[in-house]
Amino acid sequence: MRTGDGVKYWSDKPMLVLKVHQKEIMNDKIQTILSILHDLYPGADCALNHEEAHELLFATIMSAQTTDVNVNKVTFTLFQKYRTIADFANANLEEFMEEIRSTGFYRNKARNVIGAANMILQEFGGNVPQTLEELVRLPGVARKTANVVLGTYFGIPSGFVVDTHVKRLAFRLGLTTQTDPVKVEKDLIESIPEEEWIFGGHAIILHGRSICDAKKPQCPVCPLIVACPQNGIPQ
């Protein structure tokens, strides 16, 4: 306790020491998780098939509320028909809707893909933007899609990709208590080293698909169990 001006104050040093200790524990936990993920998924990458930046961008837009496998089935023929950004910009809307119907929400996705293609041509000189601020101006593009494109294609760690798998695993692993994707991302980029953002996003997604299932997580065989409090999982 310290005093001043006749007023007594409880020292804040113990609280500071506690916070430092908690941060050290979290850092050790993050390093353990990352080490295990590197062993499990060396070279983890995006599962959406693409060769060009615009292909990844449009595939990611189409991946909302569906699986990458489903999108890859569609883009296998789609990318043979529409080879350039101009091809997408000039696509017939009704025809394009039918071509991507199996991805779900195809009306909005078709408008967004064609709209994004036109905006890239008109405002970005025909090149996919390489900043998050510019990418999120495109129709159908929010932080997750922008982070996927920047990290996967351009190698720019603009943030941490937060999809349904990352959101679920981040909570189960005790890396966040948030449910809003933007707030989840904020917690992740504050605790995970920037050089691990791209790999970490891909690896956590793969782990969510293969082991940490939404309904039936395989905890007994999960290598991450050593660092996982299993938040939200019935014991």
Taking the model in full, what pTM does it have? 0.88
The pLDDT score that the predictor gives to residue 166 is 98
Instruction: With respect to residue 11, please indicate whether it lies within any of the assigned structural domains.
Output: no
Q: Cα dist. 178→81, 125, 171, 174, 195 in Å?
A: 42, 38, 7, 10, 23
Q: Are 2 and 9 in contact (CB under 8 A)?
A: yes
The pLDDT score that the predictor gives to residue 84 is 98
Alpha-carbon span 2 to 91, nearest angstrom: 73
Structural domains of the chain, count:
2
Question: Longest Cα pair distance anywhere in the chain, in angstroms?
Answer: 80
Give the chain's residues under pLDDT 70.
1-21
The pLDDT score that the predictor gives to residue 88 is 98
CB atoms inside a 10 Å sphere around CB 223: 15
The pLDDT score that the predictor gives to residue 26 is 85
Instruction: With respect to residue 10, please indicate whether it lies within any of the assigned structural domains.
Output: no
Q: Are 195 and 158 in contact (CB under 8 A)?
A: no
Q: Give the residue numbers spanning the domain of 111.
A: 53-152
Give the residue from 108, 125, 152 where a domain finishes.
152
Give the residue from 129, 152, 175 where a domain finishes.
152
Alpha-carbon span 48 to 59, nearest angstrom: 7
**Ordered DSSP codes for the chain:** -EEETTEEE--SHHHHHHHHHHHHHHHHHHHHHHHHHHHHSTT----S--SSHHHHHHHHHHTTTS-HHHHHHHHHHHHHH--SHHHHHT--HHHHHHHTGGGSSHHHHHHHHHHHHHHHHHHSTTS---SHHHHTTSTT--HHHHHHHHHHTT----S----HHHHHHHHHTTS----SHHHHHHHHHHHS-GGGHHHHHHHHHHHHHHTS-SSS--GGG-GGGGG---TT---
The pLDDT score that the predictor gives to residue 234 is 82
Give the residue from 118, 152, 186 where a domain finishes.
152
Same domain? For 145 and 207 the reply is: no
As to burial, measured by CB atoms within 10 angstroms (0-12 exposed, 13-18 middle, 19+ buried), residue 219 is middle
Q: Are 1 and 8 in contact (CB under 8 A)?
A: yes
Per-residue pLDDT tens over the stretch 158-202: 999 999 999 999 999 999 999 999 999 999 999 999 999 999 999
Same domain? For 62 and 147 the reply is: yes
Same domain? For 59 and 148 the reply is: yes
The pLDDT score that the predictor gives to residue 193 is 96
| Active site positions, annotated | 144, 163
Same domain? For 36 and 77 the reply is: no
